[in-house]
């Protein structure tokens, strides 16, 4: 049953329709081009956010059904309005000329915030289209470098084992939520929150965290702004978390993380022990229920000892000597990533394929295509592929990432497999791809090759 207010509103609307001139109903406004032809203009922009500091390629077409020849060689004007304080009204930012068939492409100025665009041509005006721009997040010291050995906060001096993750976003994103996340799945990118922060007035953030359990930590920072920018995440970094040292029995690793197939030297000192004192090395891999003995040895003069190990996956180690038990030391083992020779050139809007192998093969594991940021600072994920199951169990897994670059320019790229509880992350050496321009009529910004990006995870 309709409410009285709704019934009255419908009656008023009906009365207005009755008063409208004949022919005014259900006919959209049409723009008249030169020479009396009716022209329409439409545009497309990428649905996937672009990175802050980038330009966007706007593609579109001018169609004049009653005078098709009018569509070619015509001026197109681009108008833009940026999000954020002081954005002001729409302003003209670029122009272009249509191709013979009326197609056109326009490169915008570099963008720092979400922006709305429309174009005009031959008296016609397009619909408004929004381009989302990710917040320009970066990591800075004292954030530890990838692969750093960190320690849990359990035991003596735990206040010294807090780790600071810090960086910059933008003063425009003041007050935005910043989330420190750790991956808790081996393949499906399930990111859970372990810390929260906020962007301050200078565009900076800082999150303090104390790790409670030794092991692998694949860490990233996600900023979730308001309407000014789209959310953004840093590329995941792999860390090794070990327990703080136990007085009387020092124990540490020589190389961490290890390259796949590399041998590690695990060494330490039993304080006050005589030479030939027995020492036992125990190990546990992720998912195992307990430690098992993997080697036995004795101390040398001064109580020193050393073991050689070649683990194929992330492994926890500890030693015992009599009644003494050492802290747990975590040794990270990186994936072996082999990238097939990447292409050095491509064409705007056409697929460029990046492929290679990963070992050990974890079917479905994400593999990132990353682009180096502005001024070669940091890396940003621009597409995601997955590891395929090997044809023969025990062989490397393959990955293929087809990616279409919409803007013609030179890109500095790399491929990275992020870390997980089983193995540490690994990235290829950087390489460059030069993308040449293509006719506007061949471009499709939201086709089947629309890039895939990592999810935001738990906020």
> Residue 453's pLDDT band (boundaries 50, 70, 90)?
confident
Domains and CATH numbers, the chain: 21-131 (2.60.40.10), 138-242 (2.60.40.10), 249-326 (2.60.40), 336-442 (2.60.40.10)
> Residue 160's pLDDT band (boundaries 50, 70, 90)?
low
**CA–CA separation, 31 vs 24, rounded Å?**
15
**CA–CA separation, 295 vs 333, rounded Å?**
19
Q: What is the pLDDT of residue 184?
A: 73
**CA–CA separation, 235 vs 454, rounded Å?**
10
**CA–CA separation, 79 vs 111, rounded Å?**
13
Radius of gyration of the chain (CA): 29
> Residue 151's pLDDT band (boundaries 50, 70, 90)?
confident
| DSSP secondary structure of 51-85 | PTTB--EEEEEEE-TT-GGGGTT-EEEEEEEE-ST
Residues 245 and 331: beta-carbon distance below 8 Å: no
Q: What is the pLDDT of residue 22?
A: 37
Could you list the beta-strand ranges (E) of 276-350.
Answer: 278-284, 292-298, 304-309, 315-321, 324-325, 329-331, 336-339, 345-347
Residues 32 and 38: beta-carbon distance below 8 Å: yes
Q: What angle do CA 459, 188, 257 make, to 5 degrees?
A: 95
Q: What is the pLDDT of residue 28?
A: 36
How is residue 423 annotated by DSSP?
S
Q: Is 321 or 67 the better-scoring residue by pLDDT?
A: 321
Residues 336 and 359: beta-carbon distance below 8 Å: yes
**CA–CA separation, 128 vs 107, rounded Å?**
16
> Residue 85's pLDDT band (boundaries 50, 70, 90)?
confident
The strand pair at 345-347 and 329-331 is best described as: unpaired
Residues 252 and 267: beta-carbon distance below 8 Å: yes
What's the pLDDT tens digit per position in 331-382? 999 999 999 999 999 999 999 999 999 999 999 999 999 998 765 567 889 9
Burial code of 438-456, b = ≥16 C-beta within 10 A, e = fewer? bebeebebeeebebbbbee
Q: Residue 39: name the closest of 7, 4, 74, 13 by CA.
A: 74
């Amino acid at each position: 049953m309709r409410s009285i207010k709704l019934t009255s509103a419908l009656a008023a609307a009906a009365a207005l329709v009755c008063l409208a001139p004949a022919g005014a109903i259900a006919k959209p406004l049409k723009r008249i081009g030169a020479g009396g032809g009716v022209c329409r203009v439409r545009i497309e922009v990428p649905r996937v956010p672009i990175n802050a500091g980038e330009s966007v390629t706007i593609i579109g077409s001018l169609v004049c059904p009653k005078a098709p020849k009018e569509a070619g060689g015509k001026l197109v004007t681009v108008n833009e309005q940026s999000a954020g304080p002081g954005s002001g009204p729409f302003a003209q930012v670029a122009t272009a000329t249509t191709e013979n068939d009326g197609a056109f492409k326009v490169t915008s100025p570099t963008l720092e915030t979400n922006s709305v665009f429309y174009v005009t041509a031959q008296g016609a005006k397009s619909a408004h289209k929004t381009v989302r721009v990710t917040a320009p997040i970066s990591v800075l010291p004292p954030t530890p470098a990838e692969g750093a050995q960190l320690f849990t906060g359990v035991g003596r001096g735990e206040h010294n084992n807090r780790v600071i993750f810090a960086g910059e976003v933008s003063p425009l994103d003041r007050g935005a939520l910043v989330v420190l996340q750790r991956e808790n799945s081996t393949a499906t990118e399930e990111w859970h929150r372990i810390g929260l922060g906020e962007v301050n007035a200078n565009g900076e953030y800082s999150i303090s965290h104390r790790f409670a359990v030794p092991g692998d930590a694949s860490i990233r920072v996600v900023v979730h702004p308001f309407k000014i920018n789209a959310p953004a995440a840093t590329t995941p970094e792999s860390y090794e978390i070990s327990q703080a040292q136990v007085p009387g029995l020092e124990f540490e690793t020589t190389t961490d993380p290890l390259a796949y197939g590399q041998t590690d030297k695990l060494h330490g000192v039993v304080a006050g022990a005589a030479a030939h004192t027995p020492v036992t090395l125990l190990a546990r891999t992720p998912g195992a229920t307990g430690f098992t003995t993997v080697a036995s040895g004795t101390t040398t003069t001064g109580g020193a000892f050393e073991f050689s190990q070649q683990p194929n996956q992330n492994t926890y180690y500890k030693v015992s000597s009599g009644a003494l038990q050492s802290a747990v030391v975590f040794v990270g083992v990186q994936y072996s990533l082999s990238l097939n020779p990447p292409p050095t050139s491509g064409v705007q809007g056409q697929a460029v394929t990046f492929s290679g192998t990963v070992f050990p093969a974890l079917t479905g594991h994400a593999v990132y295509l990353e682009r180096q940021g502005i001024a070669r600072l940091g890396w940003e994920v621009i597409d995601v592929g997955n590891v395929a199951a090997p044809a023969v169990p025990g062989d490397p897994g393959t990955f293929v990432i087809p990616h279409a670059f919409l803007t013609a320019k030179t890109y500095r790229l790399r491929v990275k497999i992020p870390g997980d509880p089983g193995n540490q992350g690994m990235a290829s050496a950087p390489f460059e791809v030069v993308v040449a321009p293509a006719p506007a009529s061949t471009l499709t910004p939201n086709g089947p090759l629309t890039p895939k990006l990592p999810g935001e995870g738990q906020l």
